[in-house]
Amino acid sequence: MDIKKKFLEKRENDPPSLGNFINWHFQQNKTKKKSISDFLGVLPTTLNGYFKQSSFQFAILWRISQAVQYNFLMELGERLAIPYETKAEKELKTQLAENEKQIETLQTQLNLFKQIHKIE
């Protein structure tokens, strides 16, 4: 019997290392880690420990996102490559369809007025 924990087995389509991903983002944006650790209420060494982990608690990722005002969840979701449409996107699509309909109606009215103007 294999006593190795199944969730530790690496797969081809596994997510990127979360700690490395967050650390890379901080480096690219020159984020001060001290301010993040203060926001989280942890020591800077604890924050650095997160960067060495391939995953960590959802609450930590949530709080880091709040600390830097950046939605890591959405960025990671985009990398998942499974289509997803937010409520805001759905509302915008509906609004766009309504606006296109209104533009079409106005274009028809404009063409009609142009024809009337030519007759007179």
What lies within 8 Å, CB to CB, of 47 at 6+ separation is 33, 36, 37, 40
Structure tokens at 51: 């960067």
What pLDDT does residue 120 have?
A: 55
Quick one: pLDDT band at residue 7, thresholds 50, 70, 90?
low
What pLDDT does residue 55 have?
A: 85
Residue with tokens 């709040």: 66
Of 1-5, 46-50, 51-55, 63-67, least confident by mean pLDDT is: 1-5
**pLDDT, mean of residues 38-58:** 92
> Phi, psi (5° rounding) for residue 99?
-65, -40
Quick one: pLDDT band at residue 27, thresholds 50, 70, 90?
very high
Give start and end residues of each alpha helix (H) in the chain.
18-28, 33-40, 44-51, 58-68, 72-80, 87-119
What pLDDT does residue 3 have?
A: 63
Q: Using one digit for the tens of pLDDT, what is the confidence trace for 86-98?
A: 899 999 999 999 9
